[in-house]
Amino acid sequence: MKKIFGILGLLLVVCLVTASLSDSFLSAYNVENVLRRSALFGILSIGVAFVIITGGIDLSLGSVVCLVGCALPWLLTVHHWPLIIALPTVLALALAIGLFHGLLITKLRIQPFIVTLCGLLLYRGIARGFTGDQTVGFGNEFKSLRLLATWKLPFLPGFDLPAPLLFLGVVAIVAAVFLNRTIFGRYLLALGRNPQAATYSGIPTERMTVLAYVVSSGLAGLGGVLFVLDVNSAQPVDFGNFYELYAIAAAVLGGCSLRGGEGSIAGVLVGATLMQVLRNMITLVTTRNNVEFAIIGAVILVGVIADEIARRIAARHRAAQALQNAQA
């Protein structure tokens, strides 16, 4: 819980700095925009958080975003599939990819890093293959479908809530309840911390691990659909590029430990928002977008270092107290 206040503080500081440097940061248009981007990335981040909690990693989700984001308009506009078939197909494809990863990792015991790294290469390659590297998009059609991502819920005068935020709300609530209130959530947290002890306690660790990868790829699929509806078209070469890294960074900033077993959905949401505010700050404040990665990298590093230092101070404090108790 304490962890989330740290990252929340960091988010607040970045917001204040940006607001003081740029007048347009707090404009309704910009806030809506940041919120929409945060919501889209938040969905991906929650997915990868599940995998990180098991102690694994999912590097493939940017490519899953690309595959799904290209496949949907491709099926609809090039092959004229009915929407009612095309949409479930691409989502099922994403879930199947997760299942495939999960089985390779648990049954064949291939390292998650390798499996999902190959996925990263594979799915983007496939998307580039079937589209012939050409941009696919909806053009002027499917306006009603695009409302899924572009619709706005009137909220305050002059300020609306973007639709992806509603999707994120549902995903986040379900994920948080799952993680904290169900036995399966407890299973995930236990196996992430100590898979051995979890197995010895009768927890179906392999099934739970597979589930985590299915959730990760499934939410990447949902994200892919929303992303492509949002921007209206997808270029297979770079659609979803580096999204896995944004998502992983958001999860880690939000308190997920790459060692596994640690993480909260609320933290991940704050982390995802922080990432997008940082990107927004760079666009608004500087004229040079090319420093984006450097700044994001530096902020994450500072956050992680601060967290580690706080952890060590706490540990030392606890040891001192224990010694005092023992001598009393």
Partner 1 sequence: MSVPLLEARNVLKSFGGVRALKGVSLAVHPGEVLAVIGENGAGKSTLMKILAGVQGPDSGELLVDGKARRIGSVQEALSLGIALIHQELNLAETLDVGANIFLGREPRRFGLIDSARITREAARVLEQVGLAVRPDTLVSDLTIGQQQLVEIAKALSIHARVLIMDEPTSSLSGHEAQNLLRLIGELRAKGVGIVYISHRLGEVHGLADRVEVLRDGENAGHLARTEISHGAMVKLMVGRDLSQFYPHQVHPKGQVALEVCELRTRAHPKQTVNFSIRAGEVVGMAGLVGAGRTEVLEALFGITPPLAGEVLVAGETVKYDSPRGAIKAGLALVPEDRKHDGLVLEMGVRENLSLATLERDQSWGFLGRAKERALCEEMIPAMRIKTPNTEQPVQFLSGGNQQKVVIGKWLATRPKVLLLDEPTRGVDIGAKQEIYRLMEELAASGVAVLFVSSDLEEILGMSDRTLVLHEGRLSGELLRSELSEEAVMQLATGAERKISPTLS
CB atoms within 10 A of CB 153: 10
The residue from 1, 108, 156, 183 that contacts partner 1 (CB under 8 A) is 183
The residue from 5, 113, 155, 200 that contacts partner 1 (CB under 8 A) is 200
Ordered DSSP codes for 39-104: HHHHHHHHHHHHHHHTT-----HHHHHHHHHHHHHIIIIIS---HHHHHHHHHHHHHHHHHHHHHH
C-beta closer to partner 1: residue 203 or 268: 203
Q: How far is the CB of 178 from partner 1 (least distance, A)?
A: 9
Stretch that binds partner 1, among 18-26, 39-47, 197-205, 276-284 (CB under 8 A): 197-205
Using CB under 8 A as the binding rule, whether residue 189 contacts partner 1 is answered as yes
The residue from 144, 196, 287, 290 that contacts partner 1 (CB under 8 A) is 196
Residue 65 half-sphere exposure toward CB, CA atoms < 13 A = 37
Tokens found for residue 243: 């999204």
C-beta closer to partner 1: residue 108 or 156: 108
Using CB under 8 A as the binding rule, whether residue 1 contacts partner 1 is answered as no
Separation between Cα atoms, residue 62 and residue 238, nearest integer Å: 9
- DSSP assigned state of 287: S
Three-state DSSP class for 285? Answer: helix
CB contact at 8 A, 264 and 255: yes
Q: How far is CA 13 from the centre of its chain?
A: 22
Q: How far is the CB of 138 from partner 1 (least distance, A)?
A: 39
CB atoms within 10 A of CB 222: 22
The residue from 1, 84, 108, 326 that contacts partner 1 (CB under 8 A) is 326
Three-state DSSP class for 155? Answer: strand
The residue from 20, 24, 201, 289 that contacts partner 1 (CB under 8 A) is 201
C-beta closer to partner 1: residue 287 or 325: 325
Using CB under 8 A as the binding rule, whether residue 174 contacts partner 1 is answered as no
Separation between Cα atoms, residue 226 and residue 145, nearest integer Å: 10
Stretch that binds partner 1, among 128-136, 143-151, 166-174, 185-193 (CB under 8 A): 185-193
Tell me which residue has tokens 């078209």: 233
Three-state DSSP class for 281? Answer: helix
Q: In one letter, which amino acid is 53?
A: I
C-beta closer to partner 1: residue 146 or 186: 186
Contact string 26-45 vs partner 1 (x = CB under 8 A): --------------------
Site for partner 1 in 241-280 (CB under 8 A): 261-262
Q: How far is the CB of 201 from partner 1 (least distance, A)?
A: 4
C-beta closer to partner 1: residue 192 or 236: 192
Q: How far is the CB of 39 from partner 1 (least distance, A)?
A: 27
- Residues lying near partner 1 in the complex (CB under 8 A) are found at 181-184, 186-187, 189-190, 193-194, 196-204, 261-262, 318-319, 322-323, 325-326
